[in-house]
Amino acid sequence: MSKTIHRHAPIFLSFVIFAFSALASQFVSAQSAYPSKTIRLIAPVSAGGGLDNIARAVAERLSKGLGQSVIVDNLSGGGGAIAAQTTAKAAPDGYTLMIAYVGTHGTNPAVRKLNYDAIKDFTPIGMIGATPNVLIVNNKVPAKNVAEFVAYAKKNPAKLSYGSSGPGTLTHLGMEQFKMAANIFMVHVPYRGIAPAFTDIIGGQTDAMFPTLFAAIPYIQTGRVRALAVTGQKRSPTEPNVPTFKELGYPGFDGQQWYGIAGPANLPEPIVAKINAELNKVLASPEFSEKMASEAMTVMPMTPQQFSNYIKEDIARWTKVAKDRHIEIE
């Protein structure tokens, strides 16, 4: 019996090698032919609004570069959790991607128990860009700059309040980071979305807010609120007269409303490289950069590894703020 098995072992081994080679060849062929059908790009919001506009602008241009349709699929709900879970569970073949952003891969992982792991369940492909957050106050607040606002807040420790678009959002955590850095106190007033929060700060019901610059521009430029400082390493070209927190002696205020593209975990490297290359071509287009600038966004081309590092750093940033301020959302 043992001699028979030994005699046929080379034949069996040859068969295994042949089968493996054939499968490997098909796998490589499938990757080299990518994409051969429509790509689904999930946007974790309803149609309309900034994130959806960015998703559609990127999808349109990626379609041309990749030679296949890239269709935006809006999956809102759960603060982006439904879209993230759907992407994480998809086949890692490059045909289901998502717009990952600070909510799904930054603030939510820092404050919520999620049904997905923002790092382990995804393959970061590339950054699109970011818009800074801006500290604004209503016109009744007698402060023309951050120093005056901090002094005013310290003289009125039980008087000031700030609005946010909801607990655990970037508008909430960003202001909590500032409160810690400046050693001041303000009451948090959460809203269901940024629009009602703007209504109340303009009306004087709240004193301050930390929205994205894009959302605040119409109110800043019409003089209905006053901008004191922006996050990020550089001043925004959209509002060049507003200083950064870093300039004012507040380092570490690098959190922004960022957007990128990610896929499910274990995406083949050649597919990741191909999408990243095409995405960075889109970002290099002056026409696209100008379009994003109209939304107060700066394009930020990155390699997949750089984008992966950025996500990890952002989660760590907001996890620290949440821990220090005892913020946990059920």
Residue 24, pLDDT score: 43
Q: Give me the mean pLDDT over the 200-217 stretch.
A: 97
Query: Which one-letter amino acid corresponds to residue 156?
Result: N
Residue 158, pLDDT score: 84
- CA neighbor of 105 nearest in space, from 294, 271, 260: 260
Q: Give me the mean pLDDT over the 111-124 stretch.
A: 97
Q: And the tokens for 153?
A: 């807040």
Please state the domain extents for the chain: 1-32, 34-131+257-324, 134-230
Does 134-230 match 34-131+257-324 at the fold level?
yes
Residue 7, pLDDT score: 54
Q: In 177-191, which positions are buried (b, 16+ CB within 10 angstroms) versus exposed (e)?
A: bbbeebebebebbeb
Contact status, residue 74 vs residue 108, Cβ threshold 8 Å: no
Give the pTM: 0.88
Q: How many CB atoms lie within 10 A of CB 157?
A: 10
Torsion-angle region of 66 (φ positive above 0: left; ψ -120 to 50: alpha; else: beta): alpha
In CATH terms, 134-230 corresponds, of 3.40.50.740, 3.40.190.10, 2.40.110.10, 3.40.30.10, to 3.40.190.10
CATH code of the region 34-131+257-324: 3.40.190.150
SS3 label, residue 320: helix
Q: What is the pLDDT of residues 281-310, one digit of tens each?
A: 999 999 999 999 988 999 999 999 999 999
pLDDT band at 157 (very low <50, low <70, confident <90, very high): confident
Q: In 112-126, which positions are buried (b, 16+ CB within 10 angstroms) versus exposed (e)?
A: bebebebeebbbbbb
Query: Which one-letter amino acid corresponds to residue 65?
Result: G
